[in-house]
Amino acid sequence: MKLADLATVVRSKNAGPATLSFDLMFASEAGYVRALASPALGVVALARLYGVEPQRVRVHPYPPAHAIKIAINRKLIAGTPGDRDVYGAQQHGPLLEIEL
C-alpha cells in the first residue's frame, strides 16, 4: 500500500529557512502504526529519497494525533540561488509513492 492511500494528510513546509517539515496524518491508529513501523519511513530510507545524509533527517511520531512529523535539514537555505521552492510547500511529492 502506498503512503498516499493510507494517510489523510501529506504536506510539506518550511520550519525555518534551513529545515523542511513534513506532516503525515492518519485517520486511524492502525494506519499510523503501520506507517510508523515501515522501514520506508525510517531515517535511512528518507535520507536516500531526499538525497541527504541520514544525520539531516529526524522522525517525530505523535501518537495522540496519529501523526508523524519528519524534519530534514535543507541542502540550500530557503531563497538562496538554486533553491526552487522557497516555501518548501512542494517537497512532499516523493513521499506519496512510498510503499509501506
In a domain, 94, yes or no: no
Look at the chain and report how many structural domains it folds into.
Answer: 1
Q: What local confidence, expressed as pLDDT, does residue 86 receive? A: 93
Q: What confidence score (pLDDT) does residue 2 get?
A: 96
Confidence of residue 83 (pLDDT cuts 50, 70, 90): very high
The per-residue pLDDT of the chain, averaged, comes to: 96
Evaluate whether residue 8 is within a structural domain.
yes
The pLDDT, as a whole number, for residue 71 is 98
9, 23 contact by CB (below 8 A): yes
Going across the sheet that includes 57-62, the strands are: 7-14, 19-26, 67-73, 57-62
What number is the average pLDDT over the span 54-58? 98
Domain span at residue 37?
3-76
The domain that holds 50 is classified in CATH as 3.30.70
Residue 90 domain-assigned?
no
Compute the distance between CA of residue 34 and CA of residue 38 in angstroms, rounded to an integer.
Answer: 6
Residue 9, C-beta contacts closer than 8 angstroms, at least 6 positions apart: 23, 24, 25
Q: What pLDDT is recorded for position 45? A: 98
Q: Determine contact, residues 21/71, Cβ cutoff 8 Å.
A: yes
Residue 83 domain-assigned (yes or no): no
Q: Is residue 91 part of a domain?
A: no
